[in-house]
Amino acid sequence: MTKFETTTAVDFVVIGAGAAGGVVAKELSTAGFQVVVLEQGPYLRAEDFDHDELKRKWLFAPPYIGQDVLTNDHALQPNTFRKTEKEKAKIFPSVQYGRCVGGGSVHFTANFWRFHEIDFMERSRWGAVEGAGLADWPITYADLEPYYTKAEWDLGVSGLAGASPFDPPRSKPYPLPPLPVKSSGVLLDRAAQKLGLHSFPAPLAILSQPYRGRAACHHCGFCIFFGCEWGAKSSALASVIPMAEDTGRCEIRSGSYVSRISTDKRGRVDGVAYFDLQRNEQFQKAKAVVLCANGAESPRLLLLSKSNLFPDGLANSNGLVGKYLMFDTDSGATGIFEHPLNEYKSVVVSRVIHDFYDADPKRGYYGGGGIDARLGSYPIEFALFALSPDTPKWGTGFKKALRDDYNRTLMVFTHLTSLPVEANSITLDPEVKDAWGLPAMRVTYKNHPDDLKNMAFFTEKALELLEAAGAQKKWPVPPHESEVSVHLMGTCRMGNDPKTSVTNKYHRAHDVPNLFIVDGSSFVTSGRNQPTCTIQALAYRAADNIARMAKSGEIPSST
């Protein structure tokens, strides 16, 4: 195992070993550079993963039970939350992200949708949205396409190219065929056909066949919020992290909680301060830093990295670090069918609908989304949250519903746009501290009114699909303001203008020549709330350019 001295400047420190950091570490170490990856969470292996529902933290409804085994620990790392800047933020578990080597890609559903061409230019096409900072990306789909392809082939993605008439152009098919269709997929197909819509096999970062020495999916059914014990989910842990370590030039230093990115008197990054597992302060010297800590922790860390040269936080001369936070925005409806679906088996989703992906002026607001169908809960969670609203809470009727409905229930789930609003933000809480004595993350978030209109539109679509699929009974998830999110986007947006963005189109901080930021924070718009594929494509593109710049001496270091 490669080990680097903290006192010798390595070529790159990557902060965060998740979806983005794993890719950047693999690409830069493969290109010949020395890389230290600092990850706050543990280095778990496939054999550490299990099917224990009580080890999973439920954040989406009280009583927030379970344990933070794969995710950030709110007992140690409290968030505070408020809807608007006028309110005093209260301690509330608002943000959930992967906290282990592999990050959120370890426990994600593995929905792996590319963005469409429209996602990168919605401001030009749609125009301004009042109360929102809708903007074009500084890159186009065509710029990113080679890296989407690279991600799909490097990580291992299953899907069927051309199956969706709304698919953006692609240079190569998927490396693996789709996973087998489930009952949810057959029902979504049936409904789509009736309604004149176009369902297609879900692109998933899960192996449908053995690939590059890794086992195929065994259909155990524990994807979302669980690590894959077969290594079939194409997490950074299962795919790129081993490749990075195999170069002999990459050290994954888990249990390293970063407290500050350090800069010299010329304003260049010279290293990273972090707490080791014993909570002793360490300092890793670095020639350059790539920040991949996720859309909530990356801006927090920049704000924590204040200095005389950067009094408002690093890379924040325009005050935009932490702003334009975009959050999980979703809606749906649930139905009960006549026959057993057994949705607890296999991957979460097998069919997707993108007919309503684009915003449509006829709807009278900005917003779009994608649709899938899934059970959406494990047994305990099902009994607590997923039964139809008229079910008794206990007693004979409750038990009957548990018995009859667990295997016949299906949720049509919709993944929606979240408009970038400047007031929605990650800031430092002025009072609450984390277990390391650092200011806690303060989340300010209130949905733009168009997000709520979009939820209502998609709830209706979900009900129509359930009806067309033949549900015996159905009920909506009422549109609700987002307070909790696992998809964290937009807080260090990329752009060409240093006045209106935090990084340039190569992810270099406008203010700091040897600091790069690449993760969900780089997003300018939210896509349709399925960000991981694009986070990883951006990471491949960023790493490609960073390696090129480093080789040609375009990244000045402190020393």
Partner 1 sequence: MDEPHSSRREFLVRSLSGVSSAWLALQWPAVLAAHEHARMAASSSSPAAFQFLSAEQAIEVDAAAAQIIPADDTPGAHEAHVVYFVDRALVTFDRDKQPNYTQGLKDLQAKVVEMFPQAGKFSALEAAQQVKVLQAIEHSEFFELLRLHTIMGFLASPEYGGNYQQIGWNLIGFENKPVYSPPFGYYDAEYDKGH
The string of DSSP codes covering 166-196 is TPPP-SS--SBPPPPP-HHHHHHHHHHHHHT
Over the window 5 to 44, marking each residue x when it contacts partner 1 by CB under 8 A and - when it does not, the resulting string is ----------------------------------------
Q: Should residue 210 be labelled a site residue for partner 1 when binding is judged by CB under 8 A? A: yes
Answer for the pair 15, 301: CB distance below 8 angstroms, yes or no: yes
Residue nearer to partner 1 on the CB measure, 309 or 383 = 383
Q: Should residue 499 be labelled a site residue for partner 1 when binding is judged by CB under 8 A? A: no
Candidates 18-26, 381-389, 488-496, 504-512; binding stretch for partner 1 (CB under 8 A): 381-389
SS3 206: strand
Handedness of CA 308, 314, 317, 322 (dihedral sign): negative
Residue nearer to partner 1 on the CB measure, 62 or 361 = 62
Over the window 156 to 195, marking each residue x when it contacts partner 1 by CB under 8 A and - when it does not, the resulting string is ------------------------xxxx-xxx--------
Rounded distance between C-alpha atoms, residue 400 and residue 403, angstroms? 5
SS3 425: strand
Residue of the chain from 380, 432, 435, 549 that contacts partner 1 (CB under 8 A): 380
Tokens of 395: 């007693």
- SS3 readout for 508-533: EECCCCCEEECCHHHCCCCCCCCCHH
Residue nearer to partner 1 on the CB measure, 49 or 458 = 49
Candidates 136-144, 208-216, 280-288, 458-466; binding stretch for partner 1 (CB under 8 A): 208-216
Tokens of 414: 């919709």
Q: Which helix (H) or strand (E) holds 261?
A: strand 257-263
Contacts with 157 (C-beta within 8 Å, 6 or more apart), sequence order: 112, 151, 174, 175, 176, 203, 204, 205, 234, 533
Residue of the chain from 125, 266, 399, 433 that contacts partner 1 (CB under 8 A): 399
Q: Please state the length of the chain.
A: 559
Contacts with 260 (C-beta within 8 Å, 6 or more apart), sequence order: 272, 273, 301, 304, 305
Answer for the pair 36, 313: CB distance below 8 angstroms, yes or no: no
Residue nearer to partner 1 on the CB measure, 67 or 472 = 67
Residue nearer to partner 1 on the CB measure, 36 or 401 = 401
Q: Should residue 60 be labelled a site residue for partner 1 when binding is judged by CB under 8 A? A: no
Nearest distance, CB of residue 141 and partner 1, angstroms: 33
Q: Should residue 207 be labelled a site residue for partner 1 when binding is judged by CB under 8 A? A: no
Nearest distance, CB of residue 48 and partner 1, angstroms: 8
Nearest distance, CB of residue 67 and partner 1, angstroms: 7
Q: Should residue 107 be labelled a site residue for partner 1 when binding is judged by CB under 8 A? A: no
Q: Should residue 212 be labelled a site residue for partner 1 when binding is judged by CB under 8 A? A: no
Rounded distance between C-alpha atoms, residue 55 and residue 68, angstroms? 7
Candidates 62-70, 126-134, 424-432, 508-516; binding stretch for partner 1 (CB under 8 A): 62-70
Rounded distance between C-alpha atoms, residue 422 and residue 428, angstroms? 16
Candidates 60-68, 353-361, 471-479, 529-537; binding stretch for partner 1 (CB under 8 A): 60-68
Residue nearer to partner 1 on the CB measure, 65 or 468 = 65
Rounded distance between C-alpha atoms, residue 350 and residue 180, angstroms? 7
In single-letter form, the type of residue at position 494 comes to M
Residue of the chain from 113, 137, 382, 523 that contacts partner 1 (CB under 8 A): 382
Burial of 320 (0-12, 13-18, 19+ CB in 10 A): buried
The string of DSSP codes covering 433-475 is E-TTSPEEEEEE----HHHHHHHHHHHHHHHHHHHHHT-SEEE
Residue nearer to partner 1 on the CB measure, 126 or 230 = 230
- State residue 237 phi and psi, 5-degree precision: -60, -40
Nearest distance, CB of residue 371 and partner 1, angstroms: 18
Q: Should residue 389 be labelled a site residue for partner 1 when binding is judged by CB under 8 A? A: no
Nearest distance, CB of residue 557 and partner 1, angstroms: 43
The number of residues that bind partner 1 (CB under 8 A) is: 50
Spell out the alpha helix ranges (H) of 49-182: 122-126, 141-151
Which candidate, 465, 471, 467, 469, places its Cα nearest to that of 337?
471
Residue of the chain from 219, 363, 453, 473 that contacts partner 1 (CB under 8 A): 219
Residue of the chain from 91, 139, 220, 435 that contacts partner 1 (CB under 8 A): 220
Q: Should residue 407 be labelled a site residue for partner 1 when binding is judged by CB under 8 A? A: yes
Over the window 313 to 352, marking each residue x when it contacts partner 1 by CB under 8 A and - when it does not, the resulting string is ------------------------x-xxxxxxxx------
Residues near partner 1 (CB under 8 A): 47, 49-54, 63, 65, 67, 180-183, 185-187, 210, 215-216, 218-221, 229-230, 337, 339-346, 379-380, 382-384, 393-396, 398-399, 402-403, 406-407
